[in-house]
Amino acid sequence: MGVKVHAQTSGEDNAYVNAVYELSSLFLKRLLRPWLHPEWIFRRSALGRRQHEVLSVVHGYTRKVIRDRKLALQQNDSECNQPTENEFGRKKRLAFLDLLLRSATDTGLLTDEDVREEVDTFMFEGHDTTTAGMCWALFLLALHPDVQEQVHQEIDSIFNGSDRPATMQDLNEMKLLERCLKETLRLYPSVAIFGRTLSEDVNLGGYDVPAGTIIGIHTYNVHRDERFFPDAETFDPDRFLPEHTERRHPYAYIPFSAGPRNCIGQKFALLEEKSLVASVLRRFRIRSHRTRSEQLIVNELITRPKDGILLYLEDRKR
């Protein structure tokens, strides 16, 4: 968004981060209590009142970010109207929020609240999901030193001992690491369940389900279908070699959903995960304190590791 949040330096006192976590918990509590599904009942319940308070924190923070960014752009028209150059002499791309604000100003089609909703989507969905994915990836690589060693070799062949930052070309060359990330998202999809409203009548397993029904799609279980993923609980990045993926049903693997409502940020998410996981593995060998059976999962909106991931990091230069 082009704005510093300082979430990692403010410890547990970051109001926005805490509000996001609480919203996830409140959503699940409401979901499991059918009597709270009607909006007019929920608004009058203790959970509903608390959700309203927490949403005020989230929306208030986002509105402040938008307000501050609009002011900054108004004070610097050149930044708003044409990208500047960075230290490499390339045109500096505008932040997503700047693009939204420019569009709102130029077309008049987006109100501040429209912009706020788009920013909420990216900030809410764009940090927690990738964080979980990177945690699970490091966990699985720590449990499979043979695969980890192959990833180390791939990274070393790209950087040749250099400490330079990774470029887009470097990230695109990390084919094995990408397969590891995809296999991680198969075993631990960041969003383990998502909902869809049927637009037409459907027959599912002999049952007629009418249009307008909300159905839950369990990604976690879809990814364990032995027809498409034999020995499904085994971590095997080679499942995503081209010769295996081209014959697989396109909806057998859906960590980012599928169809017209799939995740708008899925390519960016994989690049982000590659960048961070590669940065860790360039410097460290990792071992896990827990086995997969010992590592419990918390399923709220996001598939999180309960009590975090405990890893040992060994400096590779020693």
Same structural domain for residues 85 and 187?
no
Instruction: Decide the pairing of beta strands 297-299 and 303-305.
Output: antiparallel
Q: What is the pTM of this model?
A: 0.83
d(CA 267, CA 278) in angstroms, rounded, equals 16
The reply to whether 121 falls in a domain is: no
Residue 81 within any structural domain of the chain: yes
Radius of gyration of the CA atoms of the chain, in A: 22
Other C-beta atoms within 10 Å of 53: how many? 11
Residue 144 forms part of a structural domain: yes
Q: Which of 48, 79, 110 is the last residue of a domain?
A: 110
299 and 241, same domain (yes or no): yes
pLDDT tens readout for residues 112-138: 788 888 888 777 777 788 989 999 999
Res 78 pLDDT > 60? no
Task: Say which residue the tokens 């410097």 belong to.
Answer: 283
Average pLDDT on 79-99 reads: 61
Residues 244 and 290 in one domain: yes
**Token pair 């085994």 in the structure block, residue:** 234
CATH number at residue 203: 1.10.630.10
Q: What are phi and psi of 306, to 5 degrees?
A: -65, 130
Whole-Å CA distances, 189 to 122, 133, 255, 268, 299: 18, 7, 5, 16, 10
Q: 16 with 164, same domain? A: no
Domain edge (last residue) among 81, 110, 139: 110
The amino acid at 76: N
Q: 62: left (phi > 0), else alpha (psi -120 to 50), else beta?
A: alpha
Note whether residue 235 is domain-resident.
yes
Q: What is the pLDDT of residues 227-247, one digit of tens each?
A: 999 999 999 999 999 999 998
Q: Residue 134 corresponds to which tokens in the numbers above?
A: 């990177």
In a domain, 192, yes or no: yes
pLDDT at residue 102, as a whole number: 81
* CA 187 – CA 192 distance, rounded (Å): 10
In the chain, % of residues over pLDDT 70: 93
Among the residue ranges 64-68, 94-98, 307-311, the one predicted with the least confidence is: 94-98
Same structural domain, 295 and 159:
yes
SS (H, E, C) the chain: CCCCCCCCCCHHHCHHHHHHHHHHHHHHHHHCCHHHCCHHHHCCCHHHHHHHHHHHHHHHHHHHHHHHHHHHHHHCHHHHHCCCECCCCCECCCCHHHHHHHHHHHHCCCCHHHHHHHHHHHHHHHHHHHHHHHHHHHHHHHHCHHHHHHHHHHHHHHHCCCCCCCCHHHHHHCHHHHHHHHHHHHHCCCCCEEEEECCCCEEECCEEECCCCEEEEEHHHHCCCCCCCCCCCCCCHHHHCHHHHCCCCCCCCCECECHHHCCCCHHHHHHHHHHHHHHHHHHEEEEECCCCCCCCEEECCCEEECCCCCEEEEECCC
- Give domain status of residue 115, yes or no: no
**Are residues 188 and 97 part of one domain?**
no
Q: Is 135 annotated as a binding residue?
A: no
Q: What is the pLDDT of residue 86?
A: 52
- pLDDT given for residue 80 in this prediction: 45
Same domain flag for 100 and 161: no
Neighbours of 304 (CB within 10 A): 22
Question: At which of 76, 110, 144 does a domain end?
Answer: 110
Q: Would 1 be classed as within a structural domain?
A: yes
Asked if the structure places residue 216 within a domain, the reply is: yes
Same domain, 86 and 1: yes
Question: 47 and 99 share a domain?
Answer: yes
**Is the pLDDT at 79 greater than 50, yes or no?**
no
Tell me what pLDDT residue 100 has: 81
Whether 105 and 134 share a structural domain: no
Q: What is the pLDDT of residue 11?
A: 61
My answer on whether 223 and 92 are in the same domain is: no
When divided into structural domains, the chain yields a total of 2
Higher pLDDT, 291 or 300: 291
**Domain containing residue 303:** 128-317
Clarify whether residues 34 and 74 are in a common domain: yes
